[in-house]
Amino acid sequence: MIRILIIEDDAAIREMLARRLVLRGHAVEQAPDGEQGLAMIRASVPDVVLLDHGLPGMSGWDVARALRADEAFKALPVIALTAHAGEPTRREAMGAGCTSFLTKPVDLKALEKELQRLVVPTEDR
């Protein structure tokens, strides 16, 4: 089981992703914007963050930068999710401190692979 936080403003996409990840046996929490997402991470650190780019207020990249600026979350894996496929966006995401990059519509198989790759398997907490 991996503990995942989804930060995504589109409720339909967020809930769909959450339910499909739960079906795969993960623990999922959801945040509709960057501020709430950061607050939730500070309250309880997940194993991985799924981060949408186009968030209201703080953008996804802002959230990634905020995480990287904080010593406690420097190593927290962040998978960027964006509707913009393409190299410039990927570079922006990586530049902001994201660990990985997937385009929407998210291929759950690819996502699962990324989760397994990024999250060091630890004993269930």
Q: Which residues pair with 64 in a beta bridge?
A: none
Quote the CA–CA distance of 49 and 63 in Å, as a whole number.
Answer: 10
Interacting residue with other proteins among 39, 69, 83, 110 (CB under 8 A): 83
3-state secondary structure (DSSP) of residue 28: strand
Q: What is the DSSP letter of 110?
A: H
Q: Cβ(53)–Cβ(81) under 8 Å?
A: yes
The stretch near other proteins (CB under 8 A) out of 30-38, 55-63, 66-74, 83-91 is 83-91
Q: How far is the CB of 83 from other proteins (least distance, A)?
A: 4
Is residue 79 within the footprint of other proteins (CB under 8 A)? no
Among 3, 65, 68, 104, binds other proteins (CB under 8 A): 104
Question: With CB under 8 A as the contact rule, which of the stretches 30-38, 58-66, 101-109, 113-121 interacts with other proteins?
Answer: 101-109
End-to-end CA distance of the chain: 9
Rounded distance, CA 109 to CA 89, Å? 22
Cα separation of 105 and 20, whole Å? 13
Q: Does 23 contact other proteins by CB under 8 A?
A: yes
Residue 88 or 121 with smaller CB distance to other proteins: 88
Q: Which residues bind other proteins (CB under 8 A)?
A: 10, 12-13, 16-17, 19-20, 23, 83-88, 104-106, 108
